[in-house]
Amino acid sequence: MLENILRKHHVILGSKSPRRKQFLKELNISFESRTIDTPEVYPEKYKEEEITEFLADLKCKAIQLTAQELLITADTIVWSKNKALEKPKDHVEAYQMLSELSGSSHQVITSVCLATTKKKKIFTDKTIVYFKQLTSEEINYYIENYKPYDKAGGYGIQEWIGLIGVTKIEGSYANVVGLPAEKLYNELKNF
């Protein structure tokens, strides 16, 4: 399936995310992780995929490649009420985010950058997630037990909160976890 691209290139994943690593393993892609801490700062006027595309590209530019390497970088945000919810800094911020998401819908937006020394392609996927009205006990229980400080929007759909709180999604489940795997597979085939 992906043999042509994988035969020609050594894949580098520019991410520390255990979820993104797991998706690549499940796609049977051999890869090496290589990251450089890049401040996730973007122009204030940016909205939705402008933010994630900018940050995926920023992460890509930070990593030097050889001619044999193919780099995959990505960025995910939760877009709710016309603003980006990134990773919460602490319990208070996670509680505020989950309270905002409670009883409403939001978008999870992930942009992925594929790059070699000769070529670059950025693509984006969006999924709409619907939450039931969460109680403060449910929100506090989740934050205390799952510590979602490494997750955009303060939650992981694959965790307890997703099982008890998400009533419906429109789009890719994998995208909400952090990498639109089906889209990535097709983009790699055509890269």
Annotated active-site positions, please?
Answer: 75
End-to-end CA distance of the chain: 13
Strands 105-115 and 120-131, sheet pairing:
antiparallel
The rounded Cα 48 to chain-centroid distance in angstroms is 13
Q: At 111, is the secondary structure helix, strand, or coil?
A: strand
Strands 83-85 and 69-80, sheet pairing:
antiparallel
Q: What is the DSSP letter of 151?
A: S
Q: At 26, is the secondary structure helix, strand, or coil?
A: helix
For residues 23 and 15, is the Cβ–Cβ distance under 8 A? no
Q: At 133, is the secondary structure helix, strand, or coil?
A: coil
How big is the chain by its Cα radius of gyration, in Å? 17
